[in-house]
Structure 1
Amino acid sequence: MTGSQRAALVLLSLGEAQAAEVLKHMGPREVQKLGMAMTTVSAVGRDTVAEVFDDFVDSLAQPAAIGAGADDYIRAVLTQALGEERASGLIDRILAGRNTSGLDTLKWMEPRAIAELVRNEHPQIIAIVMAHLDEDQAAEVLKCLADRVRADVLLRIATLDGIPPNALNELNEVMARQFSGNQNLKSSTIGGVRMAANILNFMDSGQDEEILTSINRIDEPLGARIRDLMFVFDNLADLDDRAIQAVLREIPSDKLAIALRGAEAGVREKITANMSQRAAQILLEDMEARGPVRLAEVEAAQKEILAEVRRMADAGTIQLAAKQEAFV
């Protein structure tokens, strides 16, 4: 079971009221990920449940890394680690969702609903809104927009270089017409080439190249910079052994067997070299036994694994190679 599935199993075992209290302290992406995981652990054996809870209890028994949980302590630690500007939004979300702005509220909406909300806005407004979202959510919104505006919006995201407080405040007021939120905003340094590359990594195969081609026609150097920062499945071969081993602990073997069908030989060798001989043999046998697999299945499995890699990189669990610093 993946880490998300184990967490989902614990929540399902708590009961509705207690699980709801736990979810209140999580961000929108974590809630969505756990919700999806809950649907995959409906038929789990008693032995598996016992094993998961044993691991959970063992984790709780370990000494806490931080001995205080007061608001002031959390604010001080995060501000010192990230700086005041980067920490401010994260602190508000962590501390029970207080002071959530109209733009931040969009993170709880479905991508299609966000696309409908901004569909008739100027591409620059759409770019600013999307730059406030997580990259995977922004990619889903981009898929829902008309083909003619996709490249324009992504190009504007890549060239964003900060937004004055008054402009951001006005935009937030527009977004907050149907949400209540905090209007006391500071200057923001959202967007940039890295975010544009991250968003493209979550696009469907073919759509990313189509958008990059359009950007190259307008600004070829910018298109090249975006491409350099993109991280694709074959780049897994560039990770160090420790990172690969950490990723393998979070990926179901059946998903890995499908994803590797479309991978370069170097990626397969990197993966199997970091598994036990028996586990590698079982993986290769599974790949052979499956027979032909649809390309769509392979791409979906690869994107799911890449999403987990990005999540682990963002959490600091692993580090990606220097040339893929877009996710570090």
Structure 2
Amino acid sequence: MAGRLVTRKPSVDDAKRLTGPERAAVILLALGEEHTRLWESLDEEEIKEISQAMASLGNVQANVVEDILVEFVSGVGGAGSIMGSFEQTQRLLTSFMSPDKVDGLMEEIRGPAGRTMWDKLGNVNEVVLANYLKNEYPQTVAVVLSKVKPEHASRVLTALPEDFALECVQRMLRMEPVQREILDKIEQTLRNEFMSNLARTSKRDSHEMMAEIFNNFDRQTESRFVTALEERNRESAERIRALMFVFEDLSRLDPGGVQTLLRAVEKDQLGLAMKGASDTLREMFFSNMSERAAKIMRDDMDSMGPVRLKDVDNAQTTMVQVAKDLAAKGEIMLAGQGGDDELIY
């Protein structure tokens, strides 16, 4: 996919470090598209497991390929280096599976991790899952929530409308054992209507991913990269800058969000971060502390004396990351830089 950033594993230089599915993936990649009949002897779950291993395999050095092939069949010579990727996996599967089936399998690989449908649902954000389930019948929701882990089910119930959630709880209390064909139908619906859409919509724009990387640079490195990028591609630089969430953007937090953040950040980190903050942001933090806590913090900051810019940058980056983590849990809301639109990180 054009513009898509792909993170690959480090080059594999030891066959002993590979799992069984990864070894199978190496063999099938080395054999290539001319020997796809081997795939036909595998069941769907095995194909899925090997495909997942193949898609994330990365570069495997030639000596490792040779070791694995020699192990697989005596007398095979060096096969050369191979590369496992989403694109290579998709191309290989297309040679013996229908395009629709390949698309569904690849979307599932790119989607939430997990061997079974219920494992995958357990890795879906509770708000996202609740937004889908609130349009289903309460009995269906009761079945789904009875199959996922209790701690995840509790978070999903909390995110559902209260009356609907209570109806689902009542159905769960009265629920009889679910027939296999009904369970299969619910799994199929979730796979076709929810997981496939989730995999498609979760593919992130490359500018969004790069903005997240830039957020983790120190101030000088960030400035250097943005300036250099502006000279080569001003449009991309502006898009990245608009997507970045930086320390000064914390000024957009509402009072409740500020107080939640202050409770989550260690006091020494807060003092360091505020040493490099604007007067406006600094006063916003002080105004959300008690008078005594604000006085203690001011005294602590004064007693620090001169501090290194690098330490201030690190503290501010830590605070931004804490804010993003709180936002991901739904405890605070972060406002984006694009005007009145709100973004959840």
TM-score by length of 1: 0.45
Which structure has more relative contact order (CA 8 Å, sep 6+)? It is: 1
Larger radius of gyration: 2
